[in-house]
Structure 1
């Protein structure tokens, strides 16, 4: 109850959205790390007390030493000032270290939670959000949670307690001087509050501009070959210059708005000090007041200036951090689109029979890719999917791995509907090698080991030999510990493909999906890989997508996919004899090859 009242009083002067965000931060991260924040608050309380003590001692120093000319007071008061300064220094160290430790823990915890939440999203989520935005939410959101809490805690502990203590000193020495010095504070707070709404709007524009620049720069660097191939440098320079100039203007507006509080605070502080000097000077000369009281109040007023200014700017300083905290909560509040229902069984593969029964699916609403597709891939056999681009072949692979779920129809493996078993168990039983190989920016060994992280170095090497990758790996200076670069940029297309095939060998799953797995290889390498793949396909259910028909002529079954349906199926010779869709496709492809050879 006390905590709720405290949060309510803390956030009375801010918008409901800001209040809700701050309250949630205190009730989650703040509550979890309350001991650390309490310790830092104690340190800040000691800092505030020693600062107030130093201001109070100034009056005694002036009166005892300079007015009364008491020589023994020199040593006593000097020692007291030294002791208070040492205590304040150690308290400042303790406060800084404690807050840093707690803040780093909050960042680490939130990054783990955000990563976990993102990994529970399906492929559709990542297809609809740019990498730059995901990265900003992952990094900036976690940092913002720490920064908001630290700003509020330090404002309450260091700044507010210091202002309260120094104000008490001023009232103890001379209540009238204290009222004169503090009389300008309401004006300062009112002036700063007018800037908050303006700063918030500018920052939102600045943030979205920064996201856009980051997104376009990532795409430019990742697509640098295309950029240079099409001589796009000049056009991109002009586009980036426009974006950066716009962001610069927004940043300048932000600086102007935030800096407007500076002249206001400086002017009001000057007014307060001038009024105190006028009153104190008259009181000392004509009112019988001691110089010590005057210097003590002036010292307290000067020492309270910086913490009072920080308190006045608190809402301004929180603006950018609160936006990051809200982005963090947006991720944490997302529903896990790949979460399995509690108690869902795992897939048990005995033979590996895959069956599609009247499956319908589309990536976008009212735009179906599969329209009642049905076929069977028998255990231990190779089933090939052929047909024109856009017919739905790769979508079949995506549905088998449960990257997406069908809108209607059934997909079963050994009679078990894959929507009713855990995704993890489905993917544990599937090895997938695509035409677009993705390698992580680590070593060759690490990339092969993604197939089975617990594999020994000998097993990794055996998988590489089976994929005909061992020899080219050893030709590198670092061997299996050679870096592949970002997205495998330091390897050729054929080398990346063989690393991916080695990864599939190492996983040793009963179901093998090959999506144009040899498309990036030259004829000689393809022949070697085909031998390796034939070994890999033994005793496995293999589903192959191929545009080049010569790679699937020996398949046990060929399914022709066109318009989201299987329009015919059979063996290579059977389909040719029917002179149907496959025959036409075969004639066109081999006619093109003959023309290229004659040319």
Structure 2
């Protein structure tokens, strides 16, 4: 993971206090599910009451056993025990079901919000943020947020009320002995505070390590050919082992810290019980310890108070651990929306697809200008080729036309409307795109093609595939158009994937077609088929072609040579060849006789 990614995981971009994030989480999540939480709280109150009654009834059981002649009292106590335990079981069941439903809803809602916020980001966010970092935020942070809420609700309601009820029983039955036991709480809190600071640091390191594991797996899945070709299996295995071991080490440290509260509470509780036993054998301040039932009720309440007290002692540790995930979640949710429609956005008007650049200037963050004041009219219904050396700004121009970025200066208009004032949906409906790195979804051929026009008929899909020379290989697949093609078309060749991408663009039926190195990665046979398909679909369409191989743009109506973010030369093929300029030099370099 990058240094920036690690810092983001540990600190977050806003540096907000965990307490403010905690209140925000509760304020945004709990009110939406107040019905479930209120019902769960009622169930928790019943659990607390029934637990306290359990300790109380133990005294009645002992005293009734000592008065065996009074059978009515024994039957009454037995009935009370059955009612108390039934109430506790039913309330515990209701609490678990209601808390699970509310928590699952919160996780689902937050993950949907996180993903939607990702979709509202521009390309710059994804180019500067590791995908493993994004995955951890979406998958882990919502779960951590749910655990924080569950911990708070159950801790402050069920455990706190249970402990309060049991302490009440203890004080009522044995007020003097209770004072001896109540010294446990302050001592435990003192030691728990010492643990919290270490928990915060380890939590950030744990999440960072999980992101590194995801990153290694991602790179293995996408780069398996390179790994195999260069025999990098051992290196990748060591990298994964190191990442896993680091996470394992941090998890073990975290477990030791969390578990440290158990022996702490056990020791303090044991000392308190020992003190109670010794004091019960003698009179305290001249007072007896009461009846055997009262002493039994007191001891039972004290022993039962141990578990809720232990959970409450761990609550701060659990919350601190979960708050790092909450911080990660809000770091993403608070990212500014980079590519959203302005409030007064309008749909692009119907038109021929007249595309113009007027003094467009653009640079990536912390970099120099990539597009340096370009003004250009793309011939409507004709093909314009963008050629030139790498880094000249050709692909960036396509990104600006797609409005994946906005210009720093100048404007881009389509049929007279500034793209920044148009709705993104209306813009994308007017554009079809075919890139060098064809992306296909893990679905069937038909599903991949129909994504761009869900209402297209089967005949329209087949026609588009025939125009792109894709129908012939699709028919040979085991299930034809219903054949799954694997992740990113893994079951297809490069040429087949590219022809599916072209068929998808044909089916789009958009007035503007953007082609970014659409044939650069193909063999000569596949290139010839794809080029023929492109010649057929560009007729009457405003087409912009980015290419390094001039063989793909010789038929273009207008050729623009870009270098250093500027248009150096423009004209038709014949016009450019008559000049002794950069395009002619490139042409002679590529077509010079061997």
Q: TM-score, normalised by structure 2?
A: 0.93
Q: 1:179 and 2:179 equivalent?
A: yes
C-alpha separation in 2, matches of 1:137 and 1:42: 33
Shift of 1:286: 9.0
Correspondence for 2:10: none
Correspondence for 1:60: 60
Correspondence for 1:334: 335
Correspondence for 2:12: none
Correspondence for 1:96: 96
C-alpha separation in 1, matches of 2:203 and 2:435: 43
Q: 1:107 and 2:119 equivalent?
A: no
Matches within 5 A, 1:493-508: 493-508=494-509
Contact kept? 1:381, 1:539, Cα under 8 Å: yes
Q: 1:135 and 2:135 equivalent?
A: yes
| Residues 580 and 354 of structure 1: CA distance in aligned 2, closer, same or farther (over 3 Å) | same
- State the Cα deviation string for residues 375-409 of structure 1 (Å, max 9, x = none): 22111111111122221111111111111122223
- State the Cα deviation string for residues 326-375 of structure 1 (Å, max 9, x = none): 11122222211112211122222412122223322222434222222232
Contact kept? 1:359, 1:411, Cα under 8 Å: yes
Correspondence for 1:347: 348
Correspondence for 1:189: 189
Contact kept? 1:352, 1:378, Cα under 8 Å: no
Correspondence for 2:229: 229
Q: 1:70 and 2:70 equivalent?
A: yes
Contact kept? 2:344, 2:421, Cα under 8 Å: no
Correspondence for 2:7: none
Correspondence for 1:395: 396
- State the Cα deviation string for residues 41-75 of structure 1 (Å, max 9, x = none): 10011111111111101111101113555334333
Greater CA drift, 16-25 or 558-567: 16-25
Shift of 1:243: 3.1
C-alpha separation in 2, matches of 1:107 and 1:503: 35
Shift of 1:32: 1.8
Correspondence for 1:425: 426
Shift of 1:199: 1.3
Contact kept? 1:65, 1:71, Cα under 8 Å: no
C-alpha separation in 1, matches of 2:16 and 2:355: 54
C-alpha separation in 2, matches of 1:26 and 1:247: 29
Contact kept? 2:216, 2:239, Cα under 8 Å: no
Matches within 5 A, 1:208-223: 208-223=208-223
Aligned residue for 1:337, secondary structure, equals coil
C-alpha separation in 2, matches of 1:444 and 1:506: 13
C-alpha separation in 1, matches of 2:421 and 2:368: 26
Q: 1:254 and 2:266 equivalent?
A: no
Correspondence for 1:584: 585
Correspondence for 1:487: 488
Correspondence for 2:376: 375
- State the Cα deviation string for residues 309-328 of structure 1 (Å, max 9, x = none): 00011000112211111111
Correspondence for 1:360: 361
Aligned residue for 2:357, secondary structure, equals strand
Correspondence for 2:85: 85
Contact kept? 2:62, 2:292, Cα under 8 Å: yes
C-alpha separation in 2, matches of 1:135 and 1:239: 19
Aligned residue for 2:17, secondary structure, equals helix
Q: 1:312 and 2:313 equivalent?
A: yes
C-alpha separation in 2, matches of 1:362 and 1:57: 76
| Residues 18 and 524 of structure 1: CA distance in aligned 2, closer, same or farther (over 3 Å) | closer
- State the Cα deviation string for residues 494-530 of structure 1 (Å, max 9, x = none): 1111111111111111000111222333333333333
Unpaired runs of 5+ in structure 2? 1-14
Correspondence for 1:273: 273
Q: TM-score, normalised by structure 1?
A: 0.92
- State the Cα deviation string for residues 160-194 of structure 1 (Å, max 9, x = none): 11101111111221211222222222111221121
C-alpha separation in 2, matches of 1:407 and 1:18: 37
Q: 1:158 and 2:158 equivalent?
A: yes
Greater CA drift, 473-482 or 145-154: 473-482
C-alpha separation in 2, matches of 1:583 and 1:491: 38
Correspondence for 2:25: 25
| Residues 16 and 366 of structure 1: CA distance in aligned 2, closer, same or farther (over 3 Å) | closer
Correspondence for 1:529: 530
C-alpha separation in 2, matches of 1:512 and 1:308: 67
Contact kept? 1:497, 1:520, Cα under 8 Å: no
| Residues 546 and 210 of structure 1: CA distance in aligned 2, closer, same or farther (over 3 Å) | same
C-alpha separation in 1, matches of 2:524 and 2:534: 15
Shift of 1:288: 6.7
Runs of 4+ in 1 over 6 A off after TM superposition: none
Aligned residue for 1:356, secondary structure, equals strand
Greater CA drift, 124-133 or 521-530: 521-530
Aligned residue for 2:559, secondary structure, equals strand
Unpaired runs of 5+ in structure 1? 1-14
- State the Cα deviation string for residues 404-455 of structure 1 (Å, max 9, x = none): 1222233222232222322332222110100111112222222112211232
Contact kept? 2:29, 2:106, Cα under 8 Å: yes
Shift of 1:261: 1.3
Correspondence for 2:405: 404
Q: 1:116 and 2:108 equivalent?
A: no
| Residues 471 and 69 of structure 1: CA distance in aligned 2, closer, same or farther (over 3 Å) | farther
CA RMSD of aligned residues (A): 2.0
Contact kept? 1:349, 1:429, Cα under 8 Å: no
| Residues 301 and 446 of structure 1: CA distance in aligned 2, closer, same or farther (over 3 Å) | same
Aligned residue for 2:282, secondary structure, equals helix
Correspondence for 1:298: 299
Shift of 1:487: 2.0
Shift of 1:156: 1.6
Correspondence for 1:10: none
| Residues 132 and 69 of structure 1: CA distance in aligned 2, closer, same or farther (over 3 Å) | farther
C-alpha separation in 1, matches of 2:311 and 2:258: 12
